[in-house]
Amino acid sequence: MTARYTIRDFQREFPDDDACLEWLKDFLYPAGIECRHCGRVTKHHKVKSRKSYSCDVCGHHVHPTAGTIYHKSSTPLTLWFYAIFLMSATRCGVSAKQLELGVTYKTAWRMFKQIRSMLEENRDPLSGEVEIDEAYIGGVRKGRRGRPGYGDNKVPVVGAVERHGNIIAKAVESTNKETLIGHIVENVEPGTTIFTDEFRGYKTLSTLGFDHWVIKHKIEYVNGFIHTNQIEGFWSLFKNGIRGVYKHVGKGYVQSYLNEYQFRYNRRKSGVPMFQHFLAQTSQLSWWTPYANR
């Protein structure tokens, strides 16, 4: 379980923009700032009224926000950090409409979009015992139960989760056999024990070097160690968050919301506060040019 990090902790650590900038500087330059003009690590001092530090030797300026999601943003760093804190402090996410920061809804929505853009991560292939299942997000709510048909306008997603471990979830074009098998081969190590439901798209897994077990949901949900309860629990958390918090998510944004939920899920047992995970991930360089630190 992650350690607690309260609003009082946040206010004590980040009381103003200077504290936020100092944290960002130390995070991006843990060994000190190497001045490009001097060619070595030198002392730098904070420049008043600017988001920059100046070399004590030559006066060259370094801007810690350059190349990050905070770059050229007129929104104070304290509001950025607070938005990240809010996103990290809940299991089901937080809507831009709930972000009471004194900024417009358009600004809040853009901030959350930028934050989510940094939460994508590349995970090593899963192994051990892995549960796999697909789900369908958005579209028509009323209608027949089960897998959607043509015209339901839902976004298919497929997920693979190590029991008591990490998850890899992706939005896909379809849930045909080729797509499902491709996702599994890419993200699960050969020889892994895989648990799925009886969907025919999984039938060939045993021929590909996987130890495949099937739970027949038409008659049971658990048969000893055979079940897909963990991956279904993640889908339940994700769908409830979409319905209860965001109401609706456009097709083009499903993956970014998946990234947020699985980022949080994969760190649920960490001893580090979730906010610190979010802040470190979202404060990394999102792009780089030779002039980023000018």
Does one domain contain both 139 and 190? yes
Q: For the chain, what is the mean pLDDT?
A: 89
Confidence of residue 96 (pLDDT cuts 50, 70, 90): confident
Based on the fold, state whether residues 105 and 224 are members of the same structural domain. no
Question: What pLDDT is stored for residue 147 in this prediction?
Answer: 61
Same domain assignment for residues 195 and 75: no
Domain assignment present for residue 51? The answer is: no
Q: Is residue 291 part of a domain?
A: no
Q: Is residue 24 part of a domain?
A: yes
The answer on pLDDT for 294 being more than 50 is no
Over residues 188-217, mean pLDDT: 96
- Residue 250: what residue type? G
Write out pLDDT tens, residues 179-198. Answer: 999 999 999 999 999 999 99
Residue 217 and residue 254 share a domain: yes
Is 59 inside any structural domain?
no
Flag whether pLDDT at 144 surpasses 70: no
Beta-strand relationship, 53-55 and 34-35:
unpaired
Task: Name the strand (E) or helix (H) holding 33.
Answer: none
**Two structure tokens written together for 278:** 């979010």
Residue 61 scores a pLDDT above 50: yes
Between 236 and 147, whose confidence is greater? 236
Q: Does residue 107 form part of some domain?
A: yes
**Per-residue CA distances from 248 to 106, 243, 244, 260 (Å):** 16, 7, 9, 16
Q: If pLDDT is split at 50, 70 and 90, which confidence band does 150 have? A: very low
Range of the domain at 168: 129-265
* H-state helical runs in the chain: 7-13, 17-28, 77-88, 105-117, 177-187, 229-241, 254-265, 274-282
Q: Do 160 and 259 sit in the same domain of this protein?
A: yes
Q: What is the CATH number of the domain that holds 248?
A: 3.30.420.10
More confident residue, 153 or 266: 266
Q: Are residues 259 and 138 in the same domain?
A: yes
Give yes or no: residues 139 and 230 share one domain: yes
- Predicted pLDDT of residue 90: 84
Whether residues 114 and 237 share a domain: the answer is: no
Q: Given this model, what pLDDT does residue 145 score?
A: 54
- When divided into structural domains, the chain yields a total of 2
Tokens of 78: 């304290």
What does the pLDDT average to over 10-36?
Answer: 97
| Location of structure tokens 């409409």 | 97
Residue 93 pLDDT greater than 60, yes or no: yes
Same domain, 95 and 25: yes
Does residue 39 fall inside a structural domain? no
Q: Identify whether 53 is part of a domain.
A: no
- Do 183 and 91 share a domain, yes or no? no
Asked if the model's pLDDT at residue 166 lies above 50, the reply is: yes
25 in a structural domain: yes
Instruction: Give the pairing of strands 211-214 and 193-196.
Output: parallel
- Indicate whether 98 and 137 sit together in one domain: no
Tokens of 98: 């709930």
Q: Are residues 138 and 252 in the same domain?
A: yes
